Structure 1
Amino acid sequence: MKQNGIRFALAMIMSFGIGSAAMADDSLQTLRERGVIRIANTQASPPWSYLGQDNQPAGYDVAIAKEVAKRIGVAKVEFIADSFKSFVEGLKADKYDLVMNDLTPTDERRKQVDFASPYGVEEFYIFVRDDNQDIHSIKDMPGHSIGVTSGTSNESWARKHMTTSDIRAYENGGLVFNDMAIGRVDAVLSSLFGGEKYKKVNNLPIKAVGEPLTYQLSAPAMAKGRDSLRDAVSKAIESMVADGTVDAVAKEWIGPDYHMTAGIKAALAELAEE
């Protein structure tokens, strides 16, 4: 029964915007002939995407995107930097062909763009300074300020579930941790390994508190009507899950103890039970 529920949840993620009389399109063939697929990411949200020491895009999403391009038969990837809040409009305006940067297939986004199969998942926690003695869980957040990255699903979640907190949105997800470290904001809502990455790289005096607040899946997004591209990307990701590629890439870019495919299955199971 649980496996059936997971399949249903996965189908729901992919099905929004697919008409019953959807006709085959040539979006995949066009990309193959062009030889280049344009993929958007922020290049400012490690471990998902950021600029490496060679000033080139790096990270989990970047590595997955390159492998997806290879498996769908497109020779080259052109990465385009953009912000979370611009991704949906960027797809609709044909600024790029895919978004692959920790983008969650929310109901609102599915009304505007299509999603392929999920390739990532996060557990979200509240982070505070090491010396904070007031905040131990979400129950302690009323009256306190919390930083989120503008346009992300964690901002949407905070505005829905933390209505008695002072929610402050940042264009640059990295700055929010720095502001918390120096006392400008009381807490940050972030993925566990995203927060831990900032803590380690920038030597910040911060910690995660309480229990995970939510799971958030990430999946490739594309403009509506590009069914052949969506189906090919989904097939590529599903093959990468099956052959161990997704877990191997996650261990390289996120950490040796993180099991990405197990987390994806858990998130889909939770979604199926809602």
Structure 2
Amino acid sequence: MKTQLRLMALALGAVLSLSNFAAAADNTLAELRAKGDIRIANTQASPPWSFINDQNKPDGYDVAMATEIAKRIGIPHITFVADTFKNFVEGLKTDKYDLVMNDLTPTPEREKQVDFSEPYGVEEFRIYVLDSNKDIHEQPDLAGKKVGATAGTTNESWSREHLTESDILAYDNGGLVFNDLSTGRIDAVISSYFGGERYRKANNLPIKAVGQPLTYQLSAAAIPKGHSSLKAAIDQAIQSMIADGTVAKLSQKYIGPDYQMVADIAKAKAEVK
């Protein structure tokens, strides 16, 4: 019996040693540094997080964060890859890109397939309706209504889980969902407050946010499983950017001068725990 226990302990020790060796041996970061380029995916159609600016270049909070993180981890160039939320996880798994940075929430389902960095963003989600709408004020009022959300986002998954009496329509393009709301094709949209306000102001849409926030969600960089050296470097970069005021500066630039990103990240992390 003692011999069997000893053999089992040795086998377990060997497995743990191999696991530790694999983590220590990951050279993803070194390979990216040698290459001098990192491929980072975002939608380029979900302001203020990522969008195409007047110079026809990717811009937004996530783009600015990605640019600063790449610099801090020693990679001089970024190739931004446009894709949709519903493709992000599969894109990482198939090596379509090295990283996703576009207001992506670390959900349990996603965490089974990819790793996530320390959070660098947080936002609240609200109900948007037409200015002329007098019937929808809070979540219960959405029963029997057509509700739009961007496909593959936590907006969509939350809506399908919590709005079981509503007709949920998923849109690949975050802008089209607001266009359909403004023309009356759907009754409401579930969206981040920042994204909704950006679309409303930029396109002069006759829409408004109603009710209290439905939920709060953290966002983080998504990384392929096993790329431990890359994840560790990104985590360190994010922590340093929070500490030196860079996160606060970029969030105030892209989201609003009164938004307290760092304080709200801390509050949201405490709620998650």
Q: Could you state the TM-score of these two structures normalised by the residue count of structure 2?
A: 0.91
1:67-216 matches, within 5 Å, as: 67-216=68-217
Find the residue that maps to 2:118 and give its secondary structure.
Answer: coil
Task: Return the letter of the residue paired with 1:109.
Answer: R
CA RMSD of aligned residues (A): 1.0
Deviations 1:195-228 (A, max 9, x none): 1111100001111111111111110011100000
Q: Which contiguous aligned blocks of 4+ residues in structure 1 show a shift greater than 3 angstroms?
A: 19-22
Task: State the partner residue of 2:34.
Answer: 33
Hey, what's the Cα distance between the residues in 1 that align with 2:81 and 2:239?
25
Instruction: Name the SS of the counterpart of 1:23 in structure 2.
Output: helix
Q: CA deviation at 1:270?
A: 1.2
Percent identity (aligned) = 64
Q: Which amino acid aligns with 2:63?
A: V
Query: Larger RCO: Structure 1 or Structure 2 (Cα < 8 Å, ≥ 6 residues apart)?
Result: 1
* Cα distance between partner residues in 1 of 2:127 and 2:156: 13
State how far apart, in whole Å, the 1-side matches of 2:71 and 2:23 are. Answer: 25
CA distance in 2, matches of 1:73, 1:249: 20
How far did 1:23 drift? Answer: 2.1
Aligned in 2, Cα 1:139/1:238: closer, same or farther, shift over 3 Å? Answer: same
Task: State the alpha-carbon separation in 2 of the partners of residues 54 and 208 from structure 1.
Answer: 30
Secondary structure at the aligned position of 2:209 is classed as strand
Distance 1:20 1:248 in 2: 39
Q: Secondary structure of 1:199's match?
A: helix
- Alpha-carbon distance in 1 for matches of 2:188, 2:127: 7
Give the equivalent residue in structure 2 for 1:57.
Answer: 58
2:23 aligned partner = 23
Larger radius of gyration: 2
2:233 maps to amino acid: A
SS in 2 for 1:270: helix
Q: Describe the SS at the equivalent of 2:249.
A: helix
- Hey, what's the Cα distance between the residues in 1 that align with 2:242 and 2:187? 38
Q: Distance in 1 between matches of 2:212 and 2:266?
A: 19
Equivalent in the alignment of 1:248: 249
Amino acid at match of 1:177: F
**Partner of residue 221, structure 2:** 220
In structure 2, the partner of 1:15 is none
